[in-house]
Structure 1
Amino acid sequence: MHILVRLPPSYLARRQFARAHGCQPVAKSANKDPFFGLDTIPATIRALRENRIIARTPEFYRRFGNTHKVIGIVSKQITTIEPENIKTVLSLNFKDYRLGFRLPSFKPLLGEGIFDTDGDQWASSRALIRPSFTRDQVADLTILEDLIQDLFALLPRDGKTVDLQKLFFQYTIDSATEFLFGQSVGTLKKSQSESDRGFAEAFYNAQEAILTRGIPFPLKLFFSHDEAKAEKYNQICRKFVQQFVDKAFQAVELKKPETEKSDSDIKRPRHIFSHELAARTTDRTRVLDELMNVLLAGRDTTASLLSNLFFVLAKDPAIWAKLRREVAFLEGRPPTYSELNNMKYVQCCMNECKIAPSCLELLSAEYFKFASSCILNLGRPVLTLPALRLHPVVPRNNREAIRNTVLPLGGGQDGLSPVFVPKGTFVSYNVYAMHRRTDIYGPDAEVFRPERWEDGKLQPRWGYLPFNGGPRICIGQRYALTEVGYVLVRMSQEFRVLESRDPGPWEESRGLTVTSKNGTKVGLTAD
């Protein structure tokens, strides 16, 4: 008796598609359990407790190859550190992937904006925001100088230990709100209002809720989450920002009569992000959502970069001395925009430890999602974020295939054949591990060495993603680099000695962004 097994049309179509593109299966998997991937849970939990969930990832690629499979309870994933694969996902086959799966986690706080939407809605958000990040809009350094003076006022100058990480988080929310709303919440100043203080606290708590909201049910049992309390924080934040949306539309209405005047008669006002958005759309909810999106990126990621950068700089007095020599020509005055961009060693330091803090393609809960997905191999990190080379604020990014597609590398025993990516599969690219590839960055890839960028010979292209790539490349990178570079230059001018007060190595924390678990404890001595 012959038993006829009829394969579903979708299976046959996939097999035909894979054959037509010369695809070979991915040879290795990180799991021994071929169904649910439960075998990796104990080791992952230990790594989480020991704060080394990120640090262990390069070993996975050494063991299982630059492209391998990860099997989870609710999803299957292909993870890679091949630049050509990343280029394909982010650029060449951009329309084959989506990231809107992040929307349920972020919508309660952010609404629908540039970070959590896809397709035409995302493109519209990008078009709305892009004009606010032109060179002319970010070249005015007056705001940054005012804020750096607020920061200096809180820093000891006699070598006493201070945690820069905490202060950088205050600095960046002040900077972000000044840029976006035209009015800082003033967390660096004791004179901040009760409303400003309440917003800052609610904003932090609302972000914490994002971390747990999107975790699938089995993992939710390990984490506490009070959605009612989270909603209270969301409403505080959105109500606070709404007042600036209303002011922005009022300002736009007042400007209308001026359109009849000649350009020479009109005094150019200071650029305010919210006003620019209000001038381009009449949809107040839209402006509110986009402001919430940009605010979250502009605050947390900048602070994380500065904290991690100064952590490693404090460990090497020679690098600090070299920075000070480069800025000596300024003779203590603040740099101009052009001077800032022409400081080669400053740029090298940022290249070695770079992120786009105000990048409009990212949010910082990616790290927590990364840790969560490791526990159950769910493979569903939330957002896309540019990364530090050594200490990425977001170490891994994901895309979900919305149709059958192909990666150019990773198939077969040698990993050189194309790989079939079925619809619904998550493709993860691990920036942390890729930035430590010795075949790209040399045998000292684990070392913070800005000099590797000095002669221009290092050209990693898609092997280095400080600002992502493709159509969703960060449009805030100019602003990001300006802000970080300005703080770096002014700190090196102000303080002769930057000394680490943390004898241990950098350890990862688990929060909205990846920062030092022990803060950035340093001693500063002024000239």
Structure 2
Amino acid sequence: MIINELIAQHSLTLSIASAVLLASLLSRLLRKDATGKAQGCRPVAKRWQWDPVLGLDIVVAQIKALKGNYYLPWLIELHSNMPKTFEINFFGKRQIYTSEPDNLKAMTATNFHDFGIEPMRRHTKGSMPFADKGISTVDGKDWEFSRFLLKPFFYREVYTSTDRIEPFADHMMALIPGDGESFNMQSLIQRWFLDLTTNFIFGKPMDALANPDRARITWAMLDVLKGGRLRAQFYMMMWAFNWTWWYKAVAEVHDFINVHIRETYKAIEEREQRIANCLPVEPERTDLIWYMAWNLRDEELLRSQLCLVFVPNNDTTSIFISNCIWHLARHPEAWEKLRQEVLAHGDAPLTFEALRNMKYLQCVLNETHRLTPNNVTQIRVCLNDSVLPVGGGKEAKEPFFVRKGDVVSITKTVMYRDPELWGNDAEEFKPERFDGRRVFWEFLPFGGGPRRCPAQMMVQTEAAYMLARLARVYRRIEARDPAPYTAVMRIGPSNKTGVQIALYK
């Protein structure tokens, strides 16, 4: 009897609490909707879902798409028969998809302080134990400090230097098989870029070109990226996955980076002791870890910052260059046009200025970014109630209200294939479309606003240099894989079978 009374009392208490909570939520939503209407906002279209409460239909579909390597077609299909801006329910949260350039501008620049990444990346612990604070997990002052630690990326003498690229390119070119022999160019590009990037970040190359076994760290980094994407997208159900494989990859990457951190701290300590004793010292190192270690004397914090630079940077750049070659191998007319432009430069050094002035080469880079962007989506959490300019109302052209906690996803892979922006041939690889074209917010492969990628100029220089070196030597490039591009998602897409080609001098 007493137990039944207690149950009844608690049930009544829970019912009252639930009712109060529901009333509070409804009242809050109504106030926010009223605020939005007062600012001239209109609601955005809602995509039909068979689970409108939790949105598990979208969750399950996305998991299947990622595991089945058809995420990009699925994402494009999600946008089909919908306005350019619409909302869905994802794990019970409002998520807005948009492919409007003006919304990208507002989210990343005009209303920059209203949108961030920390709530969905750091607060969820999805990136742990791989990394905590870093350039791609924090907002505000922490982000400003992470940006400060990457200052060497902004040095003009660094990103304009092709001398630092040349010796590694020479080594890679010497490893390319003979005329007509099939090989996977992507694996060679990965090893080349490992040497290039470890030299810049850690002050000495890994020598992966000379010792392919050393490139095994790449596979650990790829697993970290795959797991990182899953954990970021499905942070509310991380408990449902077995992460043993991911933790193993994280440990391998940490072991690799820890060695460099400890060596650097030791070198700094020895240098400071010599200076204190008025002894001569070597010229100061110019690599990234040296600069970061001088400004951050905590091994765990430094490792976190480095992890969020080294791992994503290594993957995105090598995949971008690989994607360039994948497209060119299927468009011999584009390769010939590129080659003639490079040959017109003669034997003069391939300097930063020379590469920037090769207009068709720059068009090839841009067209590759457009069709196979590394940043498929640009996602932010709304930190303060805000307004985005385009997507509300029946015509989806009016402003709409974004509530604190809402997630906004700019779908670049849809924006970059929009016929209204790029013409009816938007699905085709045509570098010429960028010839003389001034692009604004409809094309920002490295992002825009304060959070744009700090490595933008460096990446473009490295990619342009490698393509120009290949074009100087090889008159023909031939695809040896008839399959269409099948995107395996890490941070961005990579072709499932790599870049199977043959080259002819």
Answer yes or no: is the 8 Å Cα contact 1:113–1:293 preserved in 2: yes
Larger Rg: 2
Q: Which residue of the other structure, out of 29, 40, 57, is the alignment partner of 1:22?
A: 40
**Distance between the aligned counterparts of 1:10 and 1:105, measured in 2?**
29
**Distance between the aligned counterparts of 1:52 and 1:502, measured in 2?**
19
| Greater displacement, 321-330 / 287-296 | 287-296
Letter in 2 for 1:420: F
Secondary structure, aligned partner of 2:127: helix
Answer yes or no: is the 8 Å Cα contact 2:375–2:491 preserved in 1: no
Which residues in structure 2 correspond to 1:470-509 (within 5 Å)?
470-509=449-488
Q: Structure 1 residues 43, 279: CA separation in 2 closer, same or farther (over 3 Å shift)?
A: closer
Answer yes or no: is the 8 Å Cα contact 1:147–1:175 preserved in 2: yes
Do structure 1's residue 182 and structure 2's residue 182 form an aligned pair? no
Q: Which residue of the other structure, out of 423, 444, 466, is the alignment partner of 1:442?
A: 423
Q: CA deviation at 1:234?
A: 4.6
State the TM-score, normalizing by the size of structure 2.
Answer: 0.86
Answer yes or no: is the 8 Å Cα contact 2:59–2:91 preserved in 1: no
Q: CA deviation at 1:30?
A: 4.7
Answer yes or no: is the 8 Å Cα contact 1:70–1:78 preserved in 2: yes
Q: Which residue of the other structure, out of 175, 180, 185, is the alignment partner of 1:159?
A: 180
Unmatched tracts of structure 2, length 5 or more = 1-19
**Distance between the aligned counterparts of 1:233 and 1:349, measured in 2?**
36
**Distance between the aligned counterparts of 2:216 and 2:61, measured in 1?**
40
Q: Structure 1 residues 495, 259: CA separation in 2 closer, same or farther (over 3 Å shift)?
A: farther
Letter in 2 for 1:391: T
Which residues in structure 2 correspond to 1:363-442 (within 5 Å)?
388-442=369-423
Q: CA deviation at 1:207?
A: 3.8
2:31 paired residue number: 13
Which residues in structure 2 correspond to 1:52-63 (within 5 Å)?
52-63=70-81
Q: Structure 1 residues 314, 30: CA separation in 2 closer, same or farther (over 3 Å shift)?
A: farther
Q: Structure 1 residues 105, 47: CA separation in 2 closer, same or farther (over 3 Å shift)?
A: closer
Aligned-pair identity (%): 31
**Distance between the aligned counterparts of 1:495 and 1:408, measured in 2?**
49
1:459 paired residue number: 438
Q: Structure 1 residues 333, 234: CA separation in 2 closer, same or farther (over 3 Å shift)?
A: same
**Distance between the aligned counterparts of 2:498 and 2:212, measured in 1?**
25
Q: Structure 1 residues 221, 506: CA separation in 2 closer, same or farther (over 3 Å shift)?
A: same
| Greater displacement, 97-106 / 325-334 | 325-334
Unmatched tracts of structure 1, length 5 or more = 354-387
Q: Structure 1 residues 133, 75: CA separation in 2 closer, same or farther (over 3 Å shift)?
A: same
1:236 paired residue number: 255
2:264 paired residue number: 245
**Distance between the aligned counterparts of 1:43 and 1:206, measured in 2?**
22
Q: CA deviation at 1:31?
A: 2.4
Answer yes or no: is the 8 Å Cα contact 2:385–2:404 preserved in 1: yes
Which residues in structure 2 correspond to 1:245-324 (within 5 Å)?
245-246=264-265, 249-250=268-269, 253=272, 271-324=286-339
Letter in 2 for 1:352: E
State the TM-score, normalizing by the size of structure 1.
Answer: 0.83
Q: Structure 1 residues 198, 502: CA separation in 2 closer, same or farther (over 3 Å shift)?
A: closer
Q: Structure 1 residues 490, 312: CA separation in 2 closer, same or farther (over 3 Å shift)?
A: same
Q: CA deviation at 1:350?
A: 0.8
Which residues in structure 2 correspond to 1:106-255 (within 5 Å)?
106-190=127-211, 199-200=217-218, 202-214=220-232, 215-216=234-235, 218=237, 221=240, 225-226=244-245, 229-230=248-249, 232-246=251-265, 249-250=268-269, 253=272
Q: Structure 1 residues 219, 290: CA separation in 2 closer, same or farther (over 3 Å shift)?
A: closer
**Distance between the aligned counterparts of 1:224 and 1:56, measured in 2?**
25
Cα distance per residue 1:122-181 (max 9 Å; x no partner): 011112323442211222222211111221122112111111111122222211101111
**Distance between the aligned counterparts of 2:228 and 2:75, measured in 1?**
24
Cα distance per residue 1:179-211 (max 9 Å; x no partner): 11110111111287xxx5675554444444434
| Greater displacement, 20-29 / 426-435 | 20-29
Question: Which runs of at least 4 in structure 1 moved beyond 6 Å after TM superposition?
Answer: 257-261, 266-270
Q: Structure 1 residues 315, 259: CA separation in 2 closer, same or farther (over 3 Å shift)?
A: farther
Secondary structure, aligned partner of 2:165: helix
CA RMSD for the aligned pairs? 3.0
**Distance between the aligned counterparts of 1:55 and 1:259, measured in 2?**
64
1:384 paired residue number: none
Letter in 1 for 2:486: E
Letter in 2 for 1:170: R
Answer yes or no: is the 8 Å Cα contact 1:212–1:225 preserved in 2: no
Cα distance per residue 1:354-406 (max 9 Å; x no partner): xxxxxxxxxxxxxxxxxxxxxxxxxxxxxxxxxx2101223112111122111
**Distance between the aligned counterparts of 1:133 and 1:259, measured in 2?**
32
Secondary structure, aligned partner of 1:106: coil
Answer yes or no: is the 8 Å Cα contact 2:474–2:504 preserved in 1: yes
Cα distance per residue 1:75-127 (max 9 Å; x no partner): 22011001111111111111111201212232422341111111101011112
1:35 paired residue number: 53
Q: CA deviation at 1:506?
A: 1.3
Answer yes or no: is the 8 Å Cα contact 1:30–1:60 preserved in 2: no
2:12 paired residue number: none
Do structure 1's residue 73 and structure 2's residue 91 form an aligned pair? yes
Answer yes or no: is the 8 Å Cα contact 2:153–2:458 preserved in 1: no
Letter in 2 for 1:518: T
Q: CA deviation at 1:57?
A: 3.0
| Greater displacement, 508-517 / 478-487 | 508-517
Q: Which residue of the other structure, out of 348, 351, 365, is the alignment partner of 1:336?
A: 351
